[in-house]
Amino acid sequence: MDRTVHGTARIALACLDLTSLGERDTEADVIALCARASGRHGAVAAVCVWSRFARLARERAAASVRVAAVANFPDGSTDLARALRDIDAIVAAGAQEVDLVLPWRALLAGDDTACAALLRAARHASAGLTLKVILETGELRDAATIDRAARLALAEGADFLKTSTGKTRVGATPQAADVMLRAIATDAAARSRVGFKAAGGIRTVADASAYVEAVELTLGAQALVAARFRLGASSLLGDIEAVLDGAAGAAPHEGT
């Protein structure tokens, strides 16, 4: 874990979901996002957009860049028909990944059955695609509830556990990440397969380094690849590029 800033930036770039989920996003915004996804230091893992832009993103993103689109977003309702409409649009567009919001309000109300039903239907509808389940950990109050949400998502076939939508007051935190990573690591069916995505408030390589370290500590260095680790952000790429532009003089990054 003696890693330079440059090394952390390289991991962050390769594992970045470059995201545009503004309420006023246009086709021009998505086209610009896809162009930005393949830069002078290499390509990001994926672009993440609204379901209505998934087809455009597939057309405009480089072949090496995967397309993720959101479903049941951002509120995470229990409206199954709505979630499935989103997923059907994502599948029809040829996107490879679905970022689905778990019905966290129902979870807080003790209705695990409704949560499981939506997750199960979403898993079936997105068969063959990577399913990332957003727990909205900033709203789940405590570690026990985050753990419950994580294990429910794992039981229903999630390929990734994701912290946040980025639309609430509290986004990703190292504390929530630790709970989610432990849930993956202690699940025999998940520990060598399921990935982790931190999203919400990650703007710098220094921010990202906490999650790089946590994944390595809990899942091992082999999990620091796009198949197992993602960082969801809209502005992180600028700092990654700034670090890599000055990589010749990069010093060891404390704590990683």
- Distance between CA 225 and CA 236 in Å, rounded? 17
Active-site residue, from 17, 86, 132, 197: 197
Of the candidates 197, 244, 153, which has an alpha carbon nearest to the alpha carbon of residue 19?
197
Catalytic annotation present for 197:
yes
| Three-state SS at 74 | coil
Q: Which of 17, 86, 159, 162 is catalytic?
A: 162
The residue annotated as part of the active site, out of 17, 86, 99, 207, is 99
CA contacts within 13 A on the Cβ side of 127? 4
d(CA 179, CA 184): 9
Q: Is residue 99 flagged as an active site residue?
A: yes
* Residue 132 among the catalytic residues: no
* Rounded alpha-carbon distances, angstroms, from residue 243 to 135, 199, 250: 31, 20, 8
The answer to whether residues 93 and 55 touch, using CB atoms and an 8 Å cutoff, is yes
Q: Which residues are catalytic?
A: 99, 162, 197
